[in-house]
Amino acid sequence: MTITREELHANLGGLTVLDTLGGSYYAQQHLPGAVALVESEVAERAAELLPDKDAPIVTYCSNPACGNSKAVANRLTALGYTDVRRYVEGIEDWVGAGLPVESSL
C-alpha cells in the first residue's frame, strides 16, 4: 500500500516514518521525526524500533526509482507488521513541495 504526500503530511505525528536511505543521506536530510532503517538492519532492529506490529508505519527513500522503501516495507510485512505503507515519491517530492526536513549534521 502507498500513501500520498498530503496524507503523510497531515498524519506526520500519528505514524512512524522510516527513512530507508540511511547513512549520510539520512544525516543530510530526512522527514521530520523519521527514523533511519535500512533493509540490512530490519531483522535485528525492527522489534526494538517498532514494538507495536499494528502501528501505522510509512517507509520512504529518494524517489520512485529507489527500491529501498519497498524492500524495507516487504521485510516488515514478512515479520508480521500489519499497517506498512510506502511514500513512493520519496524525499525528493517532499523537498520539491517545500515541506520541512530535518538534518543530523
Reported as a single tens digit per residue, the pLDDT across 12-60 is 999 999 999 989 999 999 999 999 999 999 999 999 999 999 999 999 9
This model's pTM is above 0.85: yes
Residue 89 maps to which CATH number? Answer: 3.40.250.10
Total count of domains within the chain:
1
Exactly one of 3, 61, 76, 88 is catalytic; name it: 61
What pLDDT, on a 0 to 100 scale, did the predictor assign at position 105? 79
Active site residue 66: no
Do the domain assignments include residue 56? Answer: yes
Would 101 be classed as within a structural domain? no
Whether 12 maps to a domain, the answer reads yes
C-alpha to C-alpha distance for 69 and 15, rounded to whole angstroms: 16
Which structural domain, as residue segments, surrounds residue 34? 5-96
What's the CA gap between 20 and 30, in Å, rounded? 10
Q: Supply 70's cell numbers.
A: 519497498
Q: Is residue 103 part of a domain?
A: no
CA distances from 62 to 6, 12, 72, 74 (A): 17, 18, 14, 17
Per-residue cell: 68: 529501498
